Amino acid sequence: MSTTTTTESRDMTAETTRENSAALIRWLALVACAGVAIAVLMGFVARSIRVDSPVGEGTSLVGGDAADFRLPVLGGGESGPADFSGKVVIIDFWASWCGPCRLQAAFLEEMHEEYDASQVQFLAINVGEDEKTVQAYVDATPFPYPVLMDQQNVLSNRYEIYGLPTVMVVDKNGTIAYRHSGVLDKETLAKKVAQAGVPVPTDKEA
């Protein structure tokens, strides 16, 4: 009787061990699958969503020639900084899905009203979207200055635009004087425009 009981006890212990091992293996498999899924998701997010990251003057592109590109203009034609020789050009890289871009556009629209059009030109460059999408957005939220199209991300890749919005200031000589990724406040931008050759409007100076 004792031998039988001992054998049964050992069998039960072995069965419990096997069940626990199987449960542990299933749990580890689930953890591994979850890890893979998270990694894939993070990779997708990194590729699909641009994250703001301050760049400023530190980028190697500052001081480089920015006047040698032309892009299609929404509504027809082509344009680029070279069309506005002698002016400081403020370029806003944006997309319709970008929430912070709306705030940046609002700041730039205010500044557009403040600066003399003979001295400062504003350009909005849409990044990676088709004309129908951009036109629908602009119909609902008009820009008071030209909207250029970088549908294939050719220009944004060339200028290493990794965050939206990104604001770029091109001086009167056609070189990049300043670049910032993320929402840029009006006061900072006005200072950079002044450094590029156009003083802060008199009634806006501190």
Confidence class for position 15, pLDDT limits 50, 70, 90? low
pLDDT tens for 71-81 read: 999 999 999 99
pLDDT tens for 18-67 read: 666 666 667 666 655 455 444 433 433 333 333 333 344 445 566 666 66
pLDDT at 178 over 80: yes
Report the pLDDT value the prediction gives residue 83, as an integer from 0 to 100.
95
Report the pLDDT value the prediction gives residue 186, as an integer from 0 to 100.
97
Q: Using DSSP bridges, classify how beta strands 147-150 and 120-127 pair: parallel, antiparallel or unpaired.
A: parallel
Angle among Cα 19, 25, 29 to the nearest 5 degrees reads 145
Report the pLDDT value the prediction gives residue 49, as an integer from 0 to 100.
36
Mean pLDDT (whole number) for 168-181: 94
Q: What are the backbone dihedrals phi and psi of residue 24, each rounded to the nearest 5 degrees, phi first?
A: -65, -40
- For the question of residue 33 being annotated catalytic, the response is no
pTM summary value:
0.71
Comparing 103 with 3, the larger pLDDT belongs to 103
pLDDT at 11 over 70: no
Q: One of 67, 74, 91, 101 is an active-site residue; which one?
A: 101
Contact between 162 and 53 under an 8 Å Cβ cutoff? The reply is yes
Q: One of 71, 89, 91, 98 is an active-site residue; which one?
A: 98
Report the pLDDT value the prediction gives residue 12, as an integer from 0 to 100.
56
Category of 75 on φ-ψ map: left (φ > 0), alpha (ψ -120 to 50) or beta: left
At 90, the amino acid letter reads I
Contact between 147 and 76 under an 8 Å Cβ cutoff? The reply is no
Report the pLDDT value the prediction gives residue 114, as an integer from 0 to 100.
97
Mean pLDDT (whole number) for 72-99: 96
Strand order in the sheet with 176-181: 147-150, 120-127, 88-94, 166-170, 176-181
pLDDT at 179 over 60: yes
Report the pLDDT value the prediction gives residue 204, as an integer from 0 to 100.
54
| 56-204, CATH topology level | Glutaredoxin (3.40.30)
**Of 169, 83, 75, 170, the residue nearest 126 (C-alpha):** 75
Mean pLDDT (whole number) for 13-20: 60
Domain ranges of the chain: 1-48, 56-204
Q: Which two tokens stand for residue 28?
A: 């580890």
Report the pLDDT value the prediction gives residue 202, as an integer from 0 to 100.
81
**Contacts of residue 119, Cβ cutoff 8 Å, sequence gap at least 6:** 87, 88, 198
pLDDT tens for 139-171 read: 999 999 999 999 999 999 999 999 999 999 999
Please report, rounded to a whole number, the percentage of residues in the chain having pLDDT higher than 90. Answer: 65
* DSSP assignment letter at 83: G
